Amino acid sequence: MSFEKLGLIKPLLSAIKELGYEHPTTVQKRAIPLVLAKSDIFATAQTGTGKTAAFALPILQKLRHPLEHNDVRVVILSPTRELSIQIYEDILSYSTNMKVKTMILVGGKDLEAQKRKLKDGIDIVIATPGRLLEHIETGLSLNSVEIMVLDEADRMLDMGFTKDIRKIHPLLPKRHQTLLFSATFSEKVRKLSKLILTKPAFIETAKKNTTVDTINQVAYLVDTDRKAELLAYLIGSRNFPQVLVFTKTKVSADELIVELQKDGLKCGIIHGDKTKANRLKTLTQFKEGKTRVLVATDIASRGLDIEHLPYVINYELPSIPEDYVHRVGRTGRAGRQGEAISLIDIYEKYDIRDIERLIGQKIPQETVDGFEPDPTIRRKDQDELKLKAEHKRASGKKERQYNKNTSGVPKGRKQLKETKKKRKTTKRDPK
Ligand code: AMP
């Protein structure tokens, strides 16, 4: 299918042609006609599926006729500053042949300067929920908003923006369109969708919580204290040109970068303790190829869009299995091949099972010659683990026994009533 067939107007078609997009991705094929037809949308589209264009292109088409007023017509909410910038850059490139005014409202910039710019008339606002509320509290009106987008809604809710979104939603006019995009399908997102969406069309472009098909995933077993060495070896021996490395904590990110620098690797680091300006500078240097390795924590993993990123390495597995999906989604974007490598120690060997359960896929475990784990090393929490497993086995046994006694299914009130009724009938039957 071509973009023309989706009903997009010429200024947009020529802009995307310029960007080298040949065919719409699955989420684009499904979402673009629905957005143009004014439908609310609930899309579970992973990062890298082309979801930004899926909402941005039809939105721009809807804004092609300027209105008399100067008010904001579209609000796009995003969890982080980095993702907001990415969306902004994408919208700028899609709207290059149009007269649509777009602006980012995120923290770290002068509120007054943002207010002045807003007064001049802005069509699309891309904002983090907190900063948008600050503007609303000081006079920004959402009365003329036609479309609201929640991008990476699951992440926004995980980051504690639920209250802010609940405050923003009632301020929108009754008739407006809402597009919700989420990488994963969590209970929190489902609840929010019920509150903010009206008769939405559902778009599911990938199975719940699965990783993108084009990513090769592998886990290398290695001792904890040899991880940095193995990482440097992999980057060097396999000649990785550009690699994004994830750590679980800021502390291990800081420690890792020192080790990698000792091996002569040019590295950048992004985590919550770095200033926003610093994070942006580091990202730009990585994008421009000035640094070969970018070490990041999970908070920074969202919103990083790096073209053709071929390798993602999990130096440590994330605390939350869902974050694995977000991390590896940084590679294999828009149908391209990618590789996600996890370095797992004796502890993580068990943690990876939760990830496998979530993505419904087995991640092959291998070793690298010269880095095989020392078989004499035991987990420090071995005894605790054994005890836990025993408890689990015992409670499993109890449950199985219970199910056997109750023919497998615990009976609810209704079921019990039905059984009673049946018994009565049986008694009468012999007449
Ligand atoms: P997103 O999922 O929105 O973060 O997009 C991931 C990447 O895919 C971005 O670099 C986009 O520029 C790119 N992209 C989006 N749509 C297409 C398309 N139809 N063809 C090729 N690349 C695309």
Q: What is the pLDDT of residue 384?
A: 67
Gap between the terminal Cα atoms of the chain:
70
- Residue of 30, 52, 179, 211 with the most ligand 1 atoms within 8 Å of its CB, for mutation: 52
- Co-location of 184 and 226 in the same domain: no
- Burial group, residue 156, by CB count within 10 angstroms (0-12, 13-18, 19+): buried
- Co-location of 189 and 238 in the same domain: no
User: What angle is formed at CA 351 by the lines to CA 294 and CA 244, rounded to 5 degrees?
Assistant: 10
CA of 430 to the centre of ligand 1 (A): 72
Q: What is the pLDDT of residue 204?
A: 80
Q: What is the pLDDT of residue 228?
A: 94
CA of 193 to the centre of ligand 1 (A): 25
- Co-location of 67 and 94 in the same domain: yes
Parent domain of 93: 4-204
* Cα dihedral: 182, 183, 184, 186 (round 10): -30
Using CA atoms, how far residue 119 sits from 95, 98, 102, 148, 292, in Å, is 21, 20, 13, 20, 42
Whether 377 maps to a domain, the answer reads no
Query: How far apart, in whole angstroms, are the C-alpha atoms of residue 22 and residue 50?
Result: 12
Whether 78 maps to a domain, the answer reads yes
- Co-location of 153 and 222 in the same domain: no
Query: How far apart, in whole angstroms, are the C-alpha atoms of residue 183 and residue 153?
Result: 8
Whether 416 maps to a domain, the answer reads no
- Residue of 6, 30, 305, 328 with the most ligand 1 atoms within 8 Å of its CB, for mutation: 305
Among protein residues, the one with the nearest Cα to ligand 1's atom 11 is: 50
Q: Are 40 and 30 in contact (CB under 8 A)?
A: no
CA of 28 to the centre of ligand 1 (A): 10
41-44 and 201-204 beta bridge pairing: parallel
- The CATH number that applies at residue 42 is 3.40.50.300
Neighbours of 130 (CB within 10 A): 14
Of residues 259, 262, 268, 264, the one with CA closest to residue 224:
259
- Residue of 5, 6, 23, 25 with the most ligand 1 atoms within 8 Å of its CB, for mutation: 25
Among protein residues, the one with the nearest Cα to ligand 1's atom 15 is: 50
- Co-location of 234 and 275 in the same domain: yes
- Co-location of 80 and 191 in the same domain: yes
Residues of the chain with pLDDT under 70: 206-214, 300-308, 332-337, 379-389, 392-431
Give the end of a domain, one of 153, 173, 204: 204
- Burial group, residue 171, by CB count within 10 angstroms (0-12, 13-18, 19+): middle
CA of 263 to the centre of ligand 1 (A): 34
Among protein residues, the one with the nearest Cα to ligand 1's atom 1 is: 50
Q: What is the pLDDT of residue 275?
A: 76
- Residue of 333, 336, 337 with the most ligand 1 atoms within 8 Å of its CB, for mutation: 333
Which helix (H) or strand (E) segment holds residue 333: the answer is none
Note the pLDDT tens digit of each residue in 108-157.
778 888 999 998 899 999 999 999 999 999 999 999 999 999 999 988 99
Give the count of domains, the chain.
2
Ligand 1 interacting residues, C-beta cut-off 6 A: 21, 24-25, 28, 47-53, 305, 307, 333-334
Q: What is the pLDDT of residue 13?
A: 97
Whether 310 maps to a domain, the answer reads yes
CA of 50 to the centre of ligand 1 (A): 4
- Co-location of 184 and 248 in the same domain: no
CA of 13 to the centre of ligand 1 (A): 15
DSSP code of residue 211: P
CA of 378 to the centre of ligand 1 (A): 45
- Co-location of 164 and 229 in the same domain: no
- Burial group, residue 34, by CB count within 10 angstroms (0-12, 13-18, 19+): buried
Written as one letter, the residue type at 38 is: K
Whether 423 maps to a domain, the answer reads no
Query: How far apart, in whole angstroms, are the C-alpha atoms of residue 303 and residue 300?
Result: 7
Query: Long-range pairs for 3-7 at CB < 8 Å and ≥24 separation?
Result: 6/32, 6/33, 7/32, 7/33, 7/36
Give the end of a domain, one of 204, 238, 267: 204
Give the end of a domain, one of 173, 204, 235: 204
Q: What is the pLDDT of residue 136?
A: 95
- Co-location of 48 and 101 in the same domain: yes
CA of 362 to the centre of ligand 1 (A): 27
Taking the alpha carbons of 131, 133, 135, 140 in that order, is the dihedral positive or negative?
positive
Q: What is the pLDDT of residue 10?
A: 96
* Residues β-bridged to residue 189: none
Q: In a 3-state reduction of DSSP, which class is residue 196? A: helix
Whether 126 maps to a domain, the answer reads yes
- Co-location of 221 and 292 in the same domain: yes
Q: What is the pLDDT of residue 186?
A: 79
- Co-location of 195 and 223 in the same domain: no
Whether 383 maps to a domain, the answer reads no
Whether 23 maps to a domain, the answer reads yes
CA of 413 to the centre of ligand 1 (A): 52
- Co-location of 222 and 317 in the same domain: yes
